[in-house]
Amino acid sequence: MPEGPSIIILKELVTPFAGQKVIAVSGNSTLPIDRATGKKIIDFKSWGKHFLICFKDFSIRIHFLLFGSYRINEEKEGTPRLRLSFKNGFINFYACSVKIIEEPLDDTYDWSADVMSEDWDPKSARKKLKRAPAMLACDALLNQDIFSGSGNIIKNEVLYRTKIHPLSKIGSLPPQKLSELIDEVRNYSFDFLKWKKAYVLKKHWLAHTKKTCTRCKGPMQKEYLGTTRRRTFFCPVCQKLYD
């Protein structure tokens, strides 16, 4: 569920409810979610992996983390964390993190960091990366302040596509390689979106979960790298270490 492109799909699926009044709210969330009852949804937005339900005076932020899910006009086993009903249907969110945001979203979110956004600004990402020369490439690609929406799959695929070893230091990447990295996060995210919609995402993985390198036919390496020790798949031959 979680990476940025999946949230774009959700946003598209809920468009029938944009502008609709919430006629009932339920769920096992401990927050005062009933506040949405009777209120009109102004818009649905997203920032990376955050799904945002916007009302006039506040917003509800949904984060699916690793295991969250949703159903639209469809039930599923278990109590939803949040359920919003409309006269033309309902949305259920399960096992997700719910947060209420009081301030205007423009005050909370740096839209230029969102890889899928029309406000995405590669120059801004570059500036942030320049400020963190010691950061490892595998950590940079999971950093939501720099690449909001990028996740572990996107990380592995982008490093493989750009032939950058996950343990490369950001400050050691030649300028053109750095540009390539930044551009490829957005490029691959849109491929991810296209393939996910067509239910063929896994088929197109070149690195993630792979045992053999499609380029050199050598073995792929699997290690738990970076500050978060996330699963990292890479080809030690084709992906160059910039140290």
Partner DNA sequence: CCGGTTGTTCAGCG
Partner DNA sequence: GCGCTGAACAACCG
The residues of the shown chain that bind DNA, judged by CB under 7 A, are: 1-3, 6, 48-49, 63, 65-67, 69, 76-78, 94-95, 97, 142, 144, 151-153, 208, 227-231
Closest approach of DNA to the CB of residue 20, in Å: 26
User: Helix or strand or coil: residue 93?
Assistant: strand
Which is nearer to DNA, 35 or 231 (by Cβ)? 231
- Side-chain half-sphere of 99: how many Cα atoms within 13 Å? 14
Rounded to 5 degrees, φ, ψ at 57 are: -110, -5
Both tokens of residue 202? 């896994």
In degrees, to the nearest 5, what angle opens at C-alpha 101 toward C-alphas 50 and 36? 100
Spatial distance between the Cα atoms of 113 and 109, rounded to a whole number of angstroms: 9
Least distance in angstroms from the C-beta of 54 to DNA: 19
Beta bridge partners of 232: 223
Ranges of H-type helices in 145-228: 152-161, 175-197
Of 46 and 86, the one with the shorter C-beta distance to DNA is: 46
CB of 195 to DNA, least distance (A): 11
Please name the amino acid found at residue 218.
G
| Dist. CA 16–CA 89, nearest whole Å | 9
Of 10 and 142, CB closest to DNA:
142
Task: Name the residue nearer to DNA (CB basis): 86 or 149.
Answer: 149
Burial of 162-195, coded b for 16+ CB within 10 Å and e otherwise, reads: bebbbbbbbeebeeebbebbbebbbebbebbbeb
- We find the least distance from the C-beta atom of residue 156 to DNA, in angstroms, to be 8
Buried residues in 199-212 as b, exposed as e (16+ CB within 10 A): eebeeebebbebee
Quick one: 86 or 90, whose CB is closer to DNA? Answer: 90
| Residue in the block written with tokens 């569920």 | 1
In the complex, least distance from residue 145 CB atom to DNA, rounded to whole angstroms? 10
Helix, strand or coil for residue 168?
coil
Name the residue nearer to DNA (CB basis): 121 or 223: 223
| Smallest gap from residue 78 Cβ to DNA (A) | 6
CB closer to DNA out of 86 and 166: 166
